[in-house]
């Protein structure tokens, strides 16, 4: 298929050359360094008070996972020999009223879910149950089970939580529903739980990455004593933005913030595609039979649609046709469908490349010559489900490191929020 020249212009604006990749790595290193010593930086570089597990951690745990589309509760057993068993979990849908009103509503809802789960799973009322809590937002920790929320991201906006200790808020809510036999032993960012979960079984794991609704990473910093540092890379801002990124940012609830996250993560991929489609429709390149207005509306395209479009290899692009039809565009030509597919490819390819470049930056902070093996634990819907995403990360790492790229192992680590939080809780007395 011959792609319209105008699409080439869009493609060019989303390209990252090898020279810009190198520059990005350099400026990421300098932001990491500045963040670590409290100087001005777009990276928070938060100490987590968490260390890598030994693999010998043992016991029965409850683990909580808050920060994506669902609130999840896990019950599991750490066997103490790098093995986890008896994993059981339940998901609870988070509605707008839970995440965007007040802290009382959010934590009250969570406490209710925990109570129901414990009743259904017949937890003893006479025993104290240990909890590990994965809380996927930036927190300033002063101990493993103490952390103040620095600010919400990813559309969460429950008032009254910022500046407060999350463990205290949850404990208060648990007492509110009559649960006094629980003890929150660890509070961790999802990247940290992911790292912990993988390194429980693989001691070469020294980095955790989330590529889901949001994006972020943590790694093992050895400058003074070994400690896992939560980078909060979603806020990295030394990036070249396209006009489409700028439009997305201006219309977001947090303009100027989470700049990298808005280019990479699932919460935003659909919207970048929508904004490009809107522009091409206005220029008459993307025709869609006078249904242009469909693309004016923020949020109509989600990242799962972008995945569906890209996975369509049928002759007539039937899946793309269905996505367009779901948007209200009941008639579409083959050319329209292939243009939409091309936009999705361009947008998600940049996302995977950016993710790979930042992974390269973090690994070379730990090991400048890439002399050792590093396992990167990765969790999140975009990495797991988006067609070609992991393949493109691999190939970009290959472009950057050549043969040495084989020293980096990417490992999809599912249910990491649950497992990792339990492991971290087991480390505490």
For ligand GLC, the binding residues (CB under 6 A) are 67, 136-138, 153-154, 189-191, 210, 212, 214-216, 232, 234, 261
- Least separation in angstroms between residue 327's CB and ligand GLC is 27
Is residue 397 within 8 A of residue 359, CB to CB? The reply is: yes
Q: Which of 27, 54, 32 is nearest to 44 (CA)?
A: 32
The residues with which 59 forms a beta bridge, in sequence order, are 78
Q: Which of 418, 423, 425, 429 is nearest to 134 (CA)?
A: 418
Pick 67 or 270: Cβ nearer ligand GLC: 67
Pick 338 or 418: Cβ nearer ligand GLC: 418
**CA triple 13-16-17, angle to 5 deg:** 115
Pick 332 or 381: Cβ nearer ligand GLC: 381
Is residue 152 within 8 A of residue 163, CB to CB? The reply is: no
**Measured CA distances, 227 to 199, 218, 378 (Å):** 14, 10, 19
- Least separation in angstroms between residue 213's CB and ligand GLC is 6
Residue whose CB is nearest to ligand GLC in the complex, by number: 214
| Catalytic residue of the set 31, 65, 165, 190 | 190
- Least separation in angstroms between residue 193's CB and ligand GLC is 10
395: buried, middle or exposed (CB in 10 Å: 19+, 13-18, 0-12)? middle
- Least separation in angstroms between residue 386's CB and ligand GLC is 15
String of DSSP letters for 291-317: -GGGGGSTTSS-HHHHHHHHH---TT-
- Least separation in angstroms between residue 142's CB and ligand GLC is 17
3-class secondary structure, 383: helix
3-class secondary structure, 341: helix
344: buried, middle or exposed (CB in 10 Å: 19+, 13-18, 0-12)? buried
Residue 26: active-site member:
no
Q: 39 is written with which tokens?
A: 């100087």
Residue 190: active-site member:
yes
- Least separation in angstroms between residue 87's CB and ligand GLC is 21
| Catalytic residue of the set 44, 75, 130, 154 | 154
Q: 216 is written with which tokens?
A: 């972020």
**Measured CA distances, 260 to 118, 149, 216, 268, 381 (Å):** 38, 20, 9, 10, 17
Pick 132 or 212: Cβ nearer ligand GLC: 212
Q: How many helices (H) and strands (E) does the chain have?
A: 15, 13
Pick 35 or 67: Cβ nearer ligand GLC: 67
Is residue 334 within 8 A of residue 316, CB to CB? The reply is: yes
Pick 212 or 270: Cβ nearer ligand GLC: 212
d(CA 53, CA 426): 9
Pick 234 or 387: Cβ nearer ligand GLC: 234
Contacts of 54 (CB under 8 A, 6+ apart): none
- Least separation in angstroms between residue 260's CB and ligand GLC is 9
So which residues are the catalytic ones? 154, 190
């Amino acid at each position: 298929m011959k792609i319209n020249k105008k699409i080439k212009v869009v493609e060019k604006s989303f390209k990252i050359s090898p020279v810009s990749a190198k520059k990005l790595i350099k400026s990421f290193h300098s932001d990491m360094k500045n963040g670590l010593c409290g100087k001005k930086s777009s990276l928070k570089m938060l100490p987590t008070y968490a260390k890598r597990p030994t693999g010998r951690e043992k016991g029965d745990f409850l683990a909580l996972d808050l920060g994506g589309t669902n609130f999840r509760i896990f019950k599991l057993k750490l066997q103490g020999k790098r093995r986890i068993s008896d994993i059981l979990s339940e998901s609870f849908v988070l509605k707008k009223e839970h995440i965007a009103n007040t802290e009382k509503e959010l934590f009250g809802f969570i406490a209710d879910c925990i109570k129901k789960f414990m009743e259904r799973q017949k937890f003893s009322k006479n025993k104290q149950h240990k909890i590990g809590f994965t809380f996927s937002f930036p927190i300033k920790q002063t101990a493993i089970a103490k952390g103040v929320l620095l600010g919400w991201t990813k559309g969460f906006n429950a008032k009254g939580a910022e500046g407060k200790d999350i463990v205290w808020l949850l404990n208060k809510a648990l007492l509110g529903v009559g649960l006094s036999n629980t003890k929150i032993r660890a509070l961790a960012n999802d990247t940290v739980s992911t790292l912990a979960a993988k390194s429980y079984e693989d001691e070469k794991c020294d980095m955790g990455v989330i590529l889901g609704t949001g994006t972020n990473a943590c790694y093992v910093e050895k400058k003074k004593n070994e400690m896992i540092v939560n980078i909060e890379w979603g806020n990295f801002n030394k990036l070249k933005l396209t006009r489409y990124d700028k439009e997305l940012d201006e219309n977001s609830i947090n303009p100027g913030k989470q700049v990298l996250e808005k280019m990479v993560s699932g919460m935003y991929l659909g919207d970048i595609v929508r904004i490009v489609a809107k522009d091409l429709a206005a220029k008459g390149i993307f025709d869609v039979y006078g249904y242009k207005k469909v693309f004016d509306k923020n949020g109509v395209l989600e990242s799962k649609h972008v995945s569906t479009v890209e996975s369509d290899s049928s002759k007539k692009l039937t899946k793309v046709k269905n996505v367009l039809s779901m948007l209200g565009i009941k008639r579409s030509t083959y050319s329209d469908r292939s243009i939409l597919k091309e936009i999705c490819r361009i947008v998600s390819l940049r996302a995977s490349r950016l993710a790979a470049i930042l992974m390269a930056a973090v690994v070379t902070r730990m090991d400048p010559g890439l002399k050792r093996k590093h396992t990167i634990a990765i969790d999140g819907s975009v990495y797991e489900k988006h067609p070609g995403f992991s393949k493109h990360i691999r190939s970009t790492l290959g472009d950057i490191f050549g043969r040495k790229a084989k020293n980096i192992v990417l490992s999809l680590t599912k249910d990491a929020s649950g497992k990792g939080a339990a492991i971290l809780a087991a480390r505490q007395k």
